[in-house]
């Protein structure tokens, strides 16, 4: 059994402030399409997009699933939604909730490259660099965190906890 930590690892206010500064870095880059990875990045991507709003900025979702219902990656990655993606010749910002082993983003980036965009950059809310198994650096990182399993602000454990406005750590409950 797991339970949430007694206080958030990152508060809603800290997230909002970091989003403002992140958007200030990202907006001048003039991306054509934001590509969020569902489901984990849905809140982050929505909050970020509102801050880099421009008339011609498009948003196109894809889904990459690897986790199943556990805190350990299964190592299997399925990518869906590619058939609707129109990114040829465009400047893409790939957005994910958390960069952990790096397997997901490196595989998704390779897959998107095959669609012929002019440029792909990556943005993650959280970076757990201690867990990396493949070399991968995101171009934009919200927060670097320790090697703990986190939930909230879009991130789930077995589909639960996604709706919290803060980031929490999940701890084993021996009680």
**Residue 142 makes contact with Mg ion by CB under 5 A:** no
**Which 33-92 residues touch ligand 5GP, going by CB under 6 A?**
40, 66-67, 73
CA distance 156 to 2: 12
Closest CA to 155 of 6, 5, 38: 38
DSSP codes of every residue in 116-155: --SEEEEEEEEE-GGG-SS----SEEEEE--S--EEBTTB
State the number of binding residues for Mg ion (CB under 5 A).
1
In the residue annotation, 173 being an active-site residue is answered as no
- Does residue 10 belong to the site contacting ligand 5GP (CB under 6 A)? no
Cβ neighbours of residue 130 closer than 8 Å, sequence gap 6 or more: 146, 147
Q: How far apart are CA 102 and CA 124, in angstroms?
A: 11
* 32 versus 123: smaller Cβ distance to ligand 5GP: 123
Give dist(CA 125, CA 52) in Å, integer.
15
Q: 32, 100, 127, 173: which is the annotated catalytic residue?
A: 100
* Span interacting with ligand 5GP, options 52-60, 84-92, 114-122, 151-159, rule CB under 6 A: 151-159
**Residue 99 found at the interface with ligand 5GP (CB under 6 A):** yes
Question: Least separation, in Å, of the C-beta of 20 and Mg ion?
Answer: 24
Nearer to Mg ion, 40 or 152 (CB): 40
Among 8, 36, 40, 117, binds Mg ion (CB under 5 A): 40
CA distance 22 to 28: 11
**Which residue in 12, 60, 139, 156 binds ligand 5GP (CB under 6 A)?**
156
CB under 5 to 8 A by kind: which of Mg ion, ligand 5GP, none does 94 bind? none
Catalytic residues: 100
Residues that bind ligand 5GP (CB under 6 A): 40, 66-67, 73, 96-104, 149-151, 155-157
Residues that bind Mg ion (CB under 5 A): 40
């Amino acid at each position: 059994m797991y339970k949430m930590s007694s206080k958030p690892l990152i508060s809603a206010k800290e997230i909002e402030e970091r989003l403002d500064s992140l958007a200030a870095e990202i907006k001048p880059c003039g991306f054509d399409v934001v590509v969020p990875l569902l489901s984990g990045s849905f809140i982050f991507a929505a909050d970020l997009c509102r801050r880099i709003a421009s008339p011609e900025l498009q948003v196109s979702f894809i889904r990459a699933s690897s986790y199943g219902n556990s805190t350990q990656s299964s190592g299997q990655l399925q990518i869906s939604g590619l058939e609707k993606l129109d990114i040829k010749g465009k400047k893409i910002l790939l957005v994910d909730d958390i960069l952990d082993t790096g397997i997901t983003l490196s595989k998704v980036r390779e897959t998107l490259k095959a669609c012929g965009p002019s440029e792909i950059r990556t943005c993650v809310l959280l970076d757990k660099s201690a867990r990396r198994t493949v070399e991968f650096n995101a171009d934009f990182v919200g927060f670097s965190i320790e090697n703990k399993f986190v939930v909230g602000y879009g991130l789930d454990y077995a589909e639960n906890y996604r709706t919290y406005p803060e980031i929490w750590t999940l701890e084993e409950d021996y009680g």
